[in-house]
Amino acid sequence: KGNVIEYSKFLAIKQPPYMEKTYKSIYKKLKEIEENELDYEIEMSKFFKLGHRKRGKKRHIFSISKNGQNAKFRIRRGNQFVVLGGENLVTKTYLIGNSLKSIPFFSKNVIPLKIEDIIKCLELSDDAKHIYEVKIDISEIKEYVNELVYYFSEAGRIKVEVSLNKSAFDIDFDKIKEFNGKDEIFREFLEKYIQNKNLKLFKYIGSIRDSLKGKADVLKNSDEIIKLKYTAEGIGTKKEIALKNIK
């Protein structure tokens, strides 16, 4: 009780990041629940009722239950809401002051479980800049890299898109059959370069998610350049590098 803020505070927010109709409907539902505290659990279960699976329809399976400790969001699937597994799967990254922060958001199809997360989104400063794609200065690693871009995904992760100069590596990229840890040549490439903490290259493009079992998508493969995209393991250093490259 006491979690619902006055509607006037919603109206006072300048340039809300989402449609007025959306947060009006959210406020209305929260207010109804607040006024009937005894029926709180019943109302919540009705509002987010899963319903029955229709014949012939695929069942949507999520990695975490309704009571999962890390669940932060409910998402709409057809006429029903289901809990989305994972803590930061529906977030956007913003430049706030001198730091990069992940902020939850809601829409008609995505609703945070916590009221404080809804309020946090609505109160997002006008000065906050949404960050998605950051091109990185490669002057320190230009021997190996032709181009490097970081993508900040909605899952609180960073995807690395890197164009590599083939001639700089003692790896025959054309003999790689699968760009995952099952391929011996690709695994050798990961071990020698992407996962090698002794190389300056590691700071910019290492490490890959799942380490030597990791996988990458091939976006381009020419005689001189191979462009790969993969999810980075750990984002602390990447955030620091990105901050220096945001214009």
pTM equals 0.68
- Residue showing tokens 């109804």: 32
- pLDDT, the chain, mean: 79
Percent of the chain scoring above 70 in pLDDT:
67
Q: Show Cβ contacts of residue 173 under 8 Å, excluding neighbours closer than 6 positions.
A: 166, 185, 189, 221, 226
11 and 123, same structural domain?
Answer: yes
Instruction: Give the angle 4-8-13 at the CA atoms, nearest 5°.
Output: 95
The answer as to whether 1 is a domain residue is no
70 and 49, same structural domain?
Answer: yes
Q: Show Cβ contacts of residue 13 under 8 Å, excluding neighbours closer than 6 positions.
A: 122, 123
Q: Tell which phi-psi region holds residue 142, choosing left (phi > 0), alpha (psi between -120 and 50) or beta.
A: alpha
Q: Tell which phi-psi region holds residue 80, choosing left (phi > 0), alpha (psi between -120 and 50) or beta.
A: beta
Angstrom distance (rounded) from CA 15 to CA 34: 26
The residue among 122, 128, 135, 123 whose CA lies nearest residue 162 is 135
239 and 143, same structural domain?
Answer: yes
Q: Show Cβ contacts of residue 223 under 8 Å, excluding neighbours closer than 6 positions.
A: 166
Note the pLDDT of residue 32: 64
193 and 115, same structural domain?
Answer: no
Angstrom distance (rounded) from CA 203 to CA 229: 16
CB atoms within 10 A of CB 36: 11
| Number of folded domains that form the chain | 2
Structural domain including 199 reads 133-245
| Tens of pLDDT, residues 115-163 | 788 787 777 787 888 899 999 999 999 999 999 999 998 777 899 999 9
